[in-house]
Amino acid sequence: MKSEIAAVVSFLKRLVKLKNKVEVEKMDLFAERLHSAKSADPCVFFRCIRVNAFHKYDPELLRACRESGVHYGDLGLPWEITLWVDPGEVCGRYGEQNFDFSIATFSTDQNEMTFFYHSDSSDEGSTHSSPLTVPNRKCQALNPAAPPQHSYRTRDRTPTPGQTN
């Protein structure tokens, strides 16, 4: 999971750099604090970073900001962004109605990594897909009936009896 966490930290760092509101030294410290999160437990097989109207502050991002002296508002994150960190893959979504996109995939056989960055836009309100977005149907989608953080199910899994879609 270290490689996957490094990929999401790198993605967030590039996204924050677009706004140019955070000094380079503070940005590096923020990335270091985020990368060395206390919750980076190898027993936890996935993570979700989510910012939206109901969850304006992600706890891990807030902690990394506090420890690095970065003002959370200076991150300039989109109003709605969700990032999933799963074994072998990191993906995300701008807004609730947009497609998932791959940030990085990892091959366990050859220890190779492929990055697909889409950090050139913070237009979270639109529902169109940017030509730079790589839709990824294998990415996990949030289960609307589940708690907001750290809960998901794959799109191709059939719902259990009594569960609504």
Tokens of 16: 């924050």
Q: Please give the residue that has the higher pLDDT: either 52 or 138.
A: 52
pLDDT confidence bin for 154, thresholds 50/70/90 = very low
Is the per-residue pLDDT at 145 higher than 50? no
Encoded amino acid at 95, one letter? G
Q: Please give the residue that has the higher pLDDT: either 145 or 83.
A: 83
Is the per-residue pLDDT at 131 higher than 80? no
- The mean pLDDT of 8-22, rounded to a whole number, is 92
- The mean pLDDT of 24-41, rounded to a whole number, is 82
pLDDT digits (tens, 9 = 90+) for 64-116: 999 999 999 999 999 999 999 998 999 999 998 999 999 999 886 655 556 55
> Which residue ranges make up each domain of the chain?
2-154
Domain 2-154 classification at class level: alpha beta
On whether the pTM is more than 0.85, the answer is no
- Spatial separation of the C-alpha atoms in residues 115 and 133, rounded to whole Å: 12
pLDDT confidence bin for 31, thresholds 50/70/90 = very high
Q: Is the distance from CB of 42 to CB of 127 less than 8 angstroms?
A: no
End-to-end CA distance of the chain: 30
Give the distance from CA 21 to its chain's centroid: 20
